[in-house]
Structure 1
Amino acid sequence: MTVVVAGSDGGIGRACVAAVEAAGGTAFGVDLAGGIDITAPGGAEQAIARASAAHGTISGVVHAVGMSGRSLGDGGITACGDEAWNEVHRVNHASVFRLLRAAIPAMAEGGSIVVIGSALGTSLDDDFRTVAYASSKGALIPLIRAAAREVAPRGVRVNLISAGLVATPMSRRAQTDLAIQARLPELMPLGADLCAPEDIAAAVLWLLSPAARRTTGAVIPVDGGWHLR
């Protein structure tokens, strides 16, 4: 199996390729110098076309692109402006549609598509009141289910991972806010700590593997129990 990496951040892409190779796998990047932005019109089609041309039939696709709109003014209904709403939905929701539309025709029978969502898409919290972000992630559920139903006759699976707070740069506010830190046992009762990126990666690998061959259209929580509240 060969891992094809595409993204608008060349540094992250090259680090991903290096990590796969360090683990003994085979990987290459698609235009990591110039970057391919799948959130822009034509970007998803370009990424899939380049991957198909270099590697042939595609057996798995992972959408792991997202943003927080807090810096743009995302907040409650009356606080969120048009810029935050439009940009967050463009990146978090429309890009999934575009990648699904581009990838589905190129998928091998029995292939798997995995999308990274958020626990905020189904379970809100006052300390994370960002209506654009939450609605963009919640809107992924009917989208992946529609895709899963459409491609099921070909044996292709489409699933969504509902991620909790993950220790990445995007969650820096939660990692440094003492009030939120004190609430972690309530927010994520399965251990008073954030999820690790490796926790999400393990779920992705399972959904891509034959072990999940009978799972499609599912929302898989990897959130430390956030959804139990």
Structure 2
Amino acid sequence: MTRVLVCGATGGIGAACLAAAGDRGVGVDRDTVDITAPGGAEKAVGYATSRLGGLDGVVHAIGMSGRSLGDGPVGACTDEAWASVQRVNLESVFRLLRAALPALARTGGGSVVVVGSALAHTLDDDFLTAAYAVSKSGVETLVRLAAYEGARHGVRVNAVAPGLVDTPMAGRALGDPPLRARLPELMPLGGRACTPDEVAAAVVWLLGPDSARVTGAVVPVDGGWTLR
């Protein structure tokens, strides 16, 4: 794998991406460099570039659920949930892309991969979370904008869109027996949640040379969720 910065490296998917990168990867999280804060993304990119002697790839694997803050249907979503989820899930993508695009362009190009969500494309009574869904839809628009801007400089920008992934963030859903019983319906390919390693495998492909002509894409890693 190329020299990679992984943001959100202590989360389930981010940790799997960092493990795949091995000694060619540098990870940051909110306890080391908070990219949701002003200047944080630039600091993370500079740190990784210094540690690795250059930078070829960037992964954004930071995300939050706003359920505990009151995220839910549009008519019930709280201001706190809306603001917090947009800051973490969407604004941090903007900040990282703003820092990464010129940095990668200066060194001849590279690849950025953002972790989105299948919930940007589907509606379901058990998963009506307005703030989360809108944040992940916005991520896809940012990815397309950045891919368009970066292409002329050899910078590719793509996203992966997982369904339920077996991480602590999905603990509410996966720990709920009725929801767990729906997995064969929701994710018919295998009838189970994805593992972090399965999502990381798609991220690695998008970072590497086998996807050299792919940019602006959203790759579903959802076990068929968005086919319904």
What TM-score do you get using the length of structure 2 for normalisation?
Answer: 0.89
Structure 2 contact 42–99 (Cα < 8 Å) conserved: yes
Deviation at 1:195, TM superposition (A): 0.4
- 3-state SS in 2 of match to 1:109: coil
Deviation at 1:51, TM superposition (A): 1.6
- 3-state SS in 2 of match to 1:62: strand
Rg larger in structure = 1
The 5 A counterparts of 1:86-165 are 86-107=83-104, 108-165=107-164
Provide the rounded CA distance (Å) in 2 between the counterparts of 1:42 and 1:7: 16
Residue 41 (structure 1) aligns with: 38
Structure 2 contact 5–58 (Cα < 8 Å) conserved: no
Change (3 A) 1:224 1:34: closer
Residue 54 (structure 2) aligns with: 57
Residue 167 (structure 1) aligns with: 166
Structure 1 contact 113–159 (Cα < 8 Å) conserved: yes
Change (3 A) 1:121 1:5: closer
Structure 2 contact 157–216 (Cα < 8 Å) conserved: yes
- 3-state SS in 2 of match to 1:157: strand
User: Is the aligned partner of 1:85 residue 2:82?
Assistant: yes
Provide the rounded CA distance (Å) in 2 between the counterparts of 1:29 and 1:8: 5
Structure 2 contact 162–199 (Cα < 8 Å) conserved: yes
Aligned residues: 223
Provide the rounded CA distance (Å) in 1 between the counterparts of 2:223 and 2:155: 28
Structure 2 contact 9–27 (Cα < 8 Å) conserved: no
Provide the rounded CA distance (Å) in 2 between the counterparts of 1:197 and 1:33: 20
Residue 226 (structure 1) aligns with: 225
Provide the rounded CA distance (Å) in 2 between the counterparts of 1:197 and 1:18: 11
Structure 1 contact 145–158 (Cα < 8 Å) conserved: yes
Q: More relative contact order in 1 or in 2 (CA 8 Å, sep 6+)? A: 2
Q: Kindly, what percent of the aligned residue pairs are identical?
A: 58
Structure 2 contact 17–203 (Cα < 8 Å) conserved: no
Unpaired runs of 5+ residues, structure 1, are: none
Provide the rounded CA distance (Å) in 2 between the counterparts of 1:208 and 1:127: 33
Structure 1 contact 111–155 (Cα < 8 Å) conserved: yes
Deviation at 1:2, TM superposition (A): 4.2
Change (3 A) 1:44 1:168: same
Match of 1:68 among 59, 65, 68: 65
Provide the rounded CA distance (Å) in 2 between the counterparts of 1:194 and 1:126: 18
- 3-state SS in 2 of match to 1:58: coil
